[in-house]
Structure 1
Amino acid sequence: MHVDKAPSWSVSVRSSLSMCFALYLRDCAGLGVIGSPAVSPLKPPVHCADPRQAVHSVGGLTALRVEWEAWWYELVAANGADGTLPTPPDFPELDAMPALQRYTHARYGTALTWVQEAEEARRKRDLERVSKGIKLDYGKLVGERELELGRAARHFSLVVIELPLSEPRAWFVEPDMLIASEDLQLDEAAFRSYVQPVVEFIA
């Protein structure tokens, strides 16, 4: 986790295994870009595994799509807080979502492996970013906004969830959360274009 902060504000940047796991299942099932916010597919692309056989007796693809969107809503509402991933072999956390529970059971091993490899790749990128002196300076953006306004920033705590998404952009979730592609850190102009309006709004 990376944190920029001052007495009246803080920006914490972290990953979310649970959100990454959910997005793997979305992409693996070929559900398309759904959910709110509807973030882009994962990077590298996930191999699609037809879910119809796994879920046909519990509502089919329609049920799987509705249940996944409900689950994603819960994860976003919790600011991507990482409790435990769904627990094998019965995944009781998904008892109210039988289609999603069935598909999770079918794809759990590959999903867990993908998420673990993505997390390891993220750690390596973070170390390389630090060694090269690359820093996404949220504090600089806040400072620029304070100079523009002629006052200190309002009190806020912004949570930024970085995920391995294929599109280098960010999605603002009011009132205090950004879901961002890990690649956004590599493009200062894109970083500013997505983050600066959020800073202006909340500061």
Structure 2
Amino acid sequence: MQETGGPGWRITMDTSGPMLIALYIRDVAGLDGVGHPALCHVAPKIRPSDHAHLIADVGGASALRTEWEAWWEQLLKAHPEMSPTLGPPGFRAFSNSPALRRVLQAHFGAALSWARERRSEYAALEAEREAAGGVQLLADMVDDKLLEVGRDANPFNLTIIELPLAEQRAWYVEPDKIFMSHELTSDQELFRSYVQPVVDLLV
């Protein structure tokens, strides 16, 4: 996790293990355009599997879609905590989501391995960024806005959740979160184009 802040304000950047697992499950189940915000596919791309027989008697694809979206909403509200708890092999916390529970049981091992690889890559990226003074750009954005408005910052906490997403862009979730491709910071101009308007809104 990287963090910067000043009087009354704080910006943190980190990834999320539970969300990585959720996105793997979403993509392996072929659930396109689900969740708020509807994030693009992850990278490297995960090949979807056909789950029709597995979930046919528990509501099928529409139930799976609804259950996944409810899970994603819980993860977003609870971040950075993990809620609901992933408890293999029974996944008791998902007893009200039978279609999602079956898909989790089928793919959890692969999802966990994939998520661990992505976390390891993110740790290496963070170390590089730290060495290059990576969060300074965020502090500069806040300072630029404070100079413009000529006052102290309104109190705010902004959380930037970096994920291995195929599109190099960001998604703002009101009031205080941004989802972002973890590669976006490599293009400072593009990074600023997504983050500065949010900073301006909060400051």
1:48-87 pair list within 5 angstroms: 48-82=48-82, 86-87=86-87
Corresponding position of 1:130:
130
Q: Distance in 1 between matches of 2:76 and 2:194?
A: 19
Percent identity (aligned): 40
Give 3-state SS (helix, strand or coil) of 1:178's partner. strand
**1:117 is aligned to 2:117:** yes
Aligned to 2:155: 155
How far 1:34 sits from its partner (Å)?
A: 1.3
**Range 103-112 or range 73-82, more displaced:** 73-82
Letter of the structure 1 residue corresponding to residue 157 of structure 2: S
Partner of 2:21: 21
- The C-alpha deviation readout for 1:4-61, integer Å capped at 9, x for no partner, is 0112100011111111110110001111121101111111111212121221111111
* Structure 2 counterpart SS, 1:30: coil
Structure 2 CA distance for aligned equivalents of residues 198 and 9 of structure 1: 13
Question: Which amino acid counterpart does residue 153 of structure 1 have in structure 2?
Answer: A
* RMSD over equivalenced CA pairs, Å: 1.4
For the residue of structure 2 that corresponds to 1:32, the secondary structure is coil
Instruction: Report the residue type matching 2:152 in the other structure.
Output: A
Structure 1's 84 and 78: CA in aligned 2 closer, same or farther, altered over 3 A?
closer
Q: 1:87-132 deviations in whole A, cap 9, x for unaligned?
A: 111001111111000110011111111101111111112222334x
Q: Which runs of 5+ in 2 are unaligned?
A: none
In the alignment, the residues of structure 1 paired with residue 45 and residue 103 of structure 2 have an alpha-carbon distance, to the nearest angstrom, of 19
CA contact (8 A) 1:19 1:80 kept: no
> In structure 2, what is the equivalent of residue 197 of structure 1?
197
- Residue 181 of structure 1 corresponds to 181
Contact 2:75–2:84 (CA<8 Å) still a contact in 1?
Answer: no
Distance in 1, matches of 2:28 and 2:155, equals 40
TM-score by length of 1: 0.95
8 Å contact kept, 1:8–1:155: yes
Give the 3-state SS of the residue equivalent to 1:46 in structure 2.
Answer: coil
Does the 8 Å contact 1:79/1:177 carry over to 2? Answer: no
C-alpha distance in structure 2 between counterparts of 1:177 and 1:79, whole Å: 10
* Partner of residue 35, structure 2: 35
In 1, Cα distance between equivalents of 2:133 and 2:55:
45
Instruction: Check whether the contact 1:18–1:85 (CA below 8 A) recurs between aligned residues.
Output: no
* 1:68-96 Cα distance to aligned partner (Å, 9 max, x none): 01111111122343357511110011111
Verify the 8 A CA contact 2:74 2:83 in the aligned structure 1.
no
